[in-house]
């Protein structure tokens, strides 16, 4: 009986530790949504007017210039090494194409929403960096679809995290994505736009699996925008995480970890190469 009692205490203790880790991860994710931190907006590379990107195939260019923007996925949150997918894309593309590839700026901001990005695209620092880019890397939309209720209640307490809430966001935020694509193309008529599609970070929670349907609708809309644009590509990521969450998600249960970012970067390089 004593051994059985010890076993149940051990199981109970382990479950409590797992719950604390999960709630801590949600706390970090909430911090990014409620208290966005600015990315570093560097000034133009010289006092002269930035040189616009020219048209033509990426292979025809002697060197490539990359500008990244969006939310915490583009910033690399969750990667212990801080490289995220952006630095890995720059390094991988340079190797794959055997030419210099430079990052003009990473303009990502933790917690950024589609509406906030639309406003940011009016900033001169953003416009200068985008004007010079041959390649624009973009992640946005995750904070719109998976935003938490302002009460900060834990999952299951008031339904903060539910497929219904995710679905409700779609009619409001999908037009924002259209506006973002339009503004990017107005600023830079020739750059290749790479949009990394959304994934459901809570797919391992049974009650949140239907949320993947909303994610699929969002990604499908992004594909339509890319097809209409003619020089944009949507790189899928949902399949990486739905069945490999433990392998590819960081401890906050929201952002990719180092391996997750590496897999995303591989796909982006393949799409560009």
Q: What are phi and psi of 85, to 5 degrees?
A: -90, -25
Q: Which domain holds residue 25?
A: 2-272
Between 96 and 168, the higher pLDDT residue: 96
Q: Please give the structure tokens belonging to residue 237.
A: 């990521």
pTM (2 d.p.): 0.79
Distance CA 144, CA 173 (A): 7
Does pLDDT of 128 surpass 70?
yes
CATH number at residue 202: 3.40.50.1110
Contact (CB, 8 A) for 264 and 257: no
Average pLDDT, the chain: 82
Residue 174: closest CA among 141, 210, 128, 129 = 141
Chain segment 185-239, per-residue pLDDT in tens: 999 999 999 999 999 998 888 888 888 999 999 999 999 999 999 999 999 999 9
pLDDT digits (tens, 9 = 90+) for 40-56: 444 444 344 566 655 56
Residue 11 has pLDDT above 70, yes or no: no
Candidates 14, 113, 73; CA nearest to 260 is 73
Domain count, the chain: 1
Going across the sheet that includes 64-70, the strands are: 101-106, 64-70, 135-139, 192-196, 232-235
């Amino acid at each position: 009986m004593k051994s059985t009692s010890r076993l149940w205490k051990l199981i109970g203790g382990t479950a409590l530790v797992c719950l604390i880790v999960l709630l801590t991860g949600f706390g970090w994710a909430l911090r990014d949504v409620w208290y966005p931190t600015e990315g570093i907006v560097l000034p133009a590379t010289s006092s002269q007017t930035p040189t616009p990107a020219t048209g033509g195939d990426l292979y025809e260019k002697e060197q490539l210039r990359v500008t990244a923007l969006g939310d915490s996925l583009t910033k690399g949150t969750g990667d212990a090494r801080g490289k995220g997918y952006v630095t890995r894309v720059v390094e991988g593309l340079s190797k794959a194409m055997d030419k210099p590839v430079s990052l003009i700026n990473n303009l990502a901001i933790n917690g950024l929403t589609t509406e906030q990005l639309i406003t940011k695209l009016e900033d001169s620092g953003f416009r200068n960096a985008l004007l010079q880019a041959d390649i624009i890397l973009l992640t946005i939309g995750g904070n719109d679809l998976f935003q938490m209720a302002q009460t900060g209640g834990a999952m299951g307490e008031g339904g903060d995290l539910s497929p219904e809430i995710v679905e409700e966001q779609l009619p409001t935020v999908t037009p924002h994505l259209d506006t973002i694509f339009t503004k990017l193309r107005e600023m830079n008529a020739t750059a290749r736009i790479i949009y990394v599609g959304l994934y459901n970070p809570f797919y391992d929670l049974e009650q949140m699996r239907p949320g993947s349907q909303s994610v699929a609708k969002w990604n499908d809309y992004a594909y339509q925008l890319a097809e209409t644009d003619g020089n944009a590509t949507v790189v899928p990521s949902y399949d990486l995480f739905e069945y490999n969450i433990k392998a590819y998600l960081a401890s906050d249960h929201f952002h990719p970890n180092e391996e997750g970012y590496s897999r995303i970067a591989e796909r982006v390089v393949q799409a560009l190469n």
